[in-house]
Amino acid sequence: MSEFREDEKHPGVWAVRTPDKPAFVHQVTGESITYAEVEALSNRVAHLARSFGLQRGDHAAVFLENRIDYAPIFWGFLRAGMKVTPIPTHLTPEEVDYILDDSGAKILVTSQAKRPVAEQLRGPRVLPGARFMLDDAGGGFVSLEAALATFPDHPIADQSEGSEMLYSSGTTGKPKGVVRPMSEAPFGTPTKGMVLTCERWGITDETVWFHPAPMYHAAPIGYALRVMRWGGTMIVSAKFDPEAALATIERRRVTHSQWVPTHFVRMLRLPEEAKAKYDLSSLRCAIHAAAPCPPQVKKAMIEWWGPVIEEYYAGSEANGVVTITSREWLEKPGSVGTPILGRTRICDDDGNEVPTGTEGTIYFSDGPGFAYHNDPQKTADSKNRHGWTTLGDVGYVDADGYLFLTDRKTFMIVSGGVNIYPAEIENLLATHPRVGDVAVIGVPDEEFGESVKAVIELPEGAVPSDELAQEIIAFCRAHLSHVKCPRSVDFVDRLPRADNGKLYKRQLRDKYWEGRDRRIA
């Protein structure tokens, strides 16, 4: 064991210490991949990258459904020092092509399951021949298995720490890549943020982590990589089923799990006999984040599962992390906690800190930096005059230092844990010939927290109708993934715009939220 540094954490460590231990297990099929197999696969992927001349800082893209080799393939590019983007599986060919173009991806891995979309990709900046498909080839793709079989399973000579480069939409309407600083530490050295969060949640080589969500999201891939560094086991799922999730916790003796409030709502709706049927005593930590959680839902989960419910507030930008335990939340209902990474600062529009208890824009100081890829203006806009950075949320800190979120400055919609930015949808709908003006907002949804609604001002002569509403929704679905598209359309005589053209979206949105608590809690 002496060949590894004391602080060295990566799959290769566990391939030596626990070679036959499952690193990933499929929730439904039981199929698994051991640490020895993860090490071999990820090393071959790194050799493959080098065979194409790809070096540290180059970009790779992964367009895959949830599967046990998702993170091992991802790890292969990371250990080659590359920036790696997980592409959401629900995107259209047009949306995937945009990410490939914008990121400058030089290699793409996809699968048979994504073939209908993958074969429509232009991918002009993807290197010829560097378009790989798992399980098969054809359609301009090369078989990944056949290619990897020609490479050794030992590490490349120049391993270094790569980085995820996640894409999230911006208020300008197009997704933006979040660029985090590349680590200059020796390969296998976790960042300060990784260490702090793993210590906070108690992640060790005994951890069994279940995250019933797509791996392309920031939390599933981020924590999968952490669990692999610390030698635990990750349970991956094909899709969320509330009772199957409970059965998995019992059968796999899950110690850690991560959820969005929609998962909680669906599990709470199960019949009482189903909820009482499963032994959940192995759970030490059940984390939720990413979306507003109604206080009554969180309270019900704590009453059911006990004080294992944990919460954090953070973003793909990783500029700070705030956490809260069940016991703290019961004393401070609605709070998201206190920071473990970075320091929270509440500021007015001039960048001045405001008094305790006063609402303002939430900034982080003393945390990691970040930038938005190919968007220096958005990067600049995320900082105030002190250099503190914000995710665009609004809130306040109480006298005990607990953070409360009260609104999202960008009017981002969070539906079932998915971040949806209205501008991209508005820009598209504005091109429809029967749309005069449009605003896209989030409205209450009992299951998803929020759902997308388009509020439309028709041009002169157009008549509102159910048929027109469905036509507009179908138009959107033809160009954007369905999760971004309106589930409903309302027609108004005139949208609330000022003389200078500014849309008072809060006025529009408030009538739908009247009498409801929209705090992000």
> What pLDDT, in 10s, does the model give residues 246-292?
999 999 999 999 998 878 888 998 999 999 999 999 999 999 987 66
What residues have CB less than 8 Å from 227, skipping those under 6 apart? 203, 207, 209, 233, 234
pLDDT score at 498: 56
Question: Do 388 and 420 fall within a single domain?
Answer: no
What is the signed CA dihedral for 363, 366, 367, 369, rounded to 10 degrees?
A: 90
What share of the chain in percent tops pLDDT 90? 73
353, 375, 410: which is the final residue of a domain?
410
Question: Do 130 and 64 fall within a single domain?
Answer: yes
Residue 336 and residue 507: Cα distance in Å, rounded?
A: 26
Q: Is 423 exposed, middle or buried (0-12, 13-18, 19+ CB in 10 A)?
A: middle
Question: Do 370 and 445 fall within a single domain?
Answer: no
Compute the average pLDDT of residues 143-156.
96
pLDDT score at 123: 61
Compute the average pLDDT of residues 364-383.
94
Compute the average pLDDT of residues 149-153.
96
pLDDT score at 267: 93
Give the number of domains in the chain.
Answer: 3
Q: What is the pLDDT of residues 8-40, one digit of tens each?
A: 999 999 999 999 999 999 999 999 999 999 999
Question: Do 54 and 166 fall within a single domain?
Answer: yes
Question: Do 363 and 466 fall within a single domain?
Answer: no
pLDDT of residue 1 exceeding 60, the answer is no
Question: Do 46 and 123 fall within a single domain?
Answer: yes
Range of the domain at 405: 342-410
Determine the number of helices (DSSP H) and then strands (DSSP E) in the chain: 17, 27
- pTM of model > 0.75: yes
Phi-psi region of 461 (alpha: psi -120 to 50; beta: other; left: phi over 0): left
Q: What is the pLDDT of residues 53-84, one digit of tens each?
A: 999 999 999 999 999 999 999 999 999 999 99
Other CB atoms within a 10 A radius of the CB of residue 310 amount to 22
Question: How would you classify the pairing of strands 208-210 and 256-259?
Answer: parallel
Question: Do 402 and 433 fall within a single domain?
Answer: no
Strand, helix or coil for residue 145:
helix
Phi, psi of 464 (to 5 degrees): -65, 145
Question: Do 404 and 427 fall within a single domain?
Answer: no
Compute the average pLDDT of residues 94-114.
94
pLDDT of residue 380 exceeding 90, the answer is yes
Question: Do 385 and 466 fall within a single domain?
Answer: no
Compute the average pLDDT of residues 415-422.
82
